Amino acid sequence: MRQNGIQVIRSRKYKRTTDSDHTFNIAPGLLRQGFTASGPNQRWAGDIIYVCAREGWVYLAVVLDQLSRRVVGWAIRSRMKQNLALRALNMAHAIRRPQSGWIHHADRGSQYCAHDYQELLRKHALTPLMRGKGNCYANSAVESFSKSLRAELVWRRNWQIRREVEVALFEYINDL
């Protein structure tokens, strides 16, 4: 590693961001740790990643195809509201146009359990699944992406303004 100029990026302390203390319905977690898909657009995973800049927080909602582990939809905002997750899902659907019956897996966050998000899943004939409370392994593809994004980009800089975070996230995702 030294010869190639590679340095270890240490993990940082975990910060809980999922608000699962809400009154929305929770979809069942039917995957039972079965994350493989035999083709594209069969299983998607969604999550929200946060980045702290001196100016304030930046939130990135992503939708990953679990077969290729590629980002197929994303949205960036300065507030973690339901619209953030809706925009990422709409982008993924507009680009990929999957057949009905595919699976969308997410955590129990209020953005994913909200009525508008669940209605959009029904509109596109998606089967919503949610992992168990406190079980980060159930959505491992998107959690792995999140960790890589933080180690390769976020933790390497002290971000000053939100705009520079947004540009860096855009470039990171589009270079994948």
Quick check: 120 and 110 in contact, CB under 8 A?
no
Residue 118 burial (C-beta neighbours within 10 Å; 0-12, 13-18, 19+)? middle
Quick check: 22 and 115 in contact, CB under 8 A?
no
> What pLDDT is attached to residue 33?
46
Domains in the chain, CATH or no CATH each? 43-145 (3.30.420.10)
User: What is the pTM (predicted TM-score) of this model?
Assistant: 0.78
* 16 Cβ contact partners less than 8 Å away, ≥ 6 residues apart: none
> What pLDDT is attached to residue 31?
46
Least confident of 8-12, 33-37, 128-132, 167-171: 33-37
Reported as a single tens digit per residue, the pLDDT across 93-131 is 999 988 777 888 888 788 888 889 989 988 988 888 876
